[in-house]
C-alpha cells in the first residue's frame, strides 16, 4: 500500500512539473513569435504583425510591439547573464530593435497599419522564467544606454 501511495505521489509530482514546464515552453514560443526577428526591416511592421497574428483580439490592433533583431539564443542568454532589476532582467549589451507603433486601425475586423522605427544598441528588459525569456518589458525609456 505504501509503495502505491509513493508511486501515486511521484506521478502527480511529475505531472505538475511537466505542466509547469509546458506552460513556460508555450510562453517562450509566444515570446519568440512576438519579439524575435533577426532580419526585420522597420518598413515591414505591417507584414510581420499580420503574419505572426500579433494583436489583442481579432477586432483590436496591438498598439505597440517591439522586435529584437537577434537570435532566440542571444536573447535567452540575457536570462543567464543579465542584470536583475526587480522581477525583470536587463541585458548587459545593446540590441538593435524595431518598434512597431500603430498608426491606425480600420474596420470591424482590424486592418492594422504600423509605423516602424529601428533603434540601435538598446538594452532590453525582459522577464525570465527557468532561464527562458517569456515577456518583453523594455521600452525606449528603459532601454537608453
Condensed to tens digits (0 to 9), the pLDDT of residues 29-87 reads 999 999 999 999 999 999 999 999 998 666 788 999 999 999 999 999 999 999 999 99
CATH label of the domain that carries residue 37: 3.10.130.10
Active site residue 135: yes
The pLDDT of residue 61 is: 87
Number of domain units in the chain: 1
Active site residue 35: yes
Identify the active-site residue in 28, 31, 35, 90.
35
Q: Among 82, 45, 41, 81, which Cα is nearest to 63's?
A: 45
Identify the active-site residue in 129, 135, 137, 142.
135
Condensed to tens digits (0 to 9), the pLDDT of residues 121-142 reads 999 999 999 999 999 997 544 4
Report whether 132 contacts 139 (CB < 8 A).
Answer: no
Average pLDDT over residues 113-120: 94
Task: Tell me which residue range forms the domain holding 76.
Answer: 2-143
Q: Label residue 139 exposed, middle or buried (CB < 10 Å: 0-12, 13-18, 19+).
A: middle
The number of beta carbons lying within 10 Å of the beta carbon of residue 87 is: 9
Amino acid at each position: 500500500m505504501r509503495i502505491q501511495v509513493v508511486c501515486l505521489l511521484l506521478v502527480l509530482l511529475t505531472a505538475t512539473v511537466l505542466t509547469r514546464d509546458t506552460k513556460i515552453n508555450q510562453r517562450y514560443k509566444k515570446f519568440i513569435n512576438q519579439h524575435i526577428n533577426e532580419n526585420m526591416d522597420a518598413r515591414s511592421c505591417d507584414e510581420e504583425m499580420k503574419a505572426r497574428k500579433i494583436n489583442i483580439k481579432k477586432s483590436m490592433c496591438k498598439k505597440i510591439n517591439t522586435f529584437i533583431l537577434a537570435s532566440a539564443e542571444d536573447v535567452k542568454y540575457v536570462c543567464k547573464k543579465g542584470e536583475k532589476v526587480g522581477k525583470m532582467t536587463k541585458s548587459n549589451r545593446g540590441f538593435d530593435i524595431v518598434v512597431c507603433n500603430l498608426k491606425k486601425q480600420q474596420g470591424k475586423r482590424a486592418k492594422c497599419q504600423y509605423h516602424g522605427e529601428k533603434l540601435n544598441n538598446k538594452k532590453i528588459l525582459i522577464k525570465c522564467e527557468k532561464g527562458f525569456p517569456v515577456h518583453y518589458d523594455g521600452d525606449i525609456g528603459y532601454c537608453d544606454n
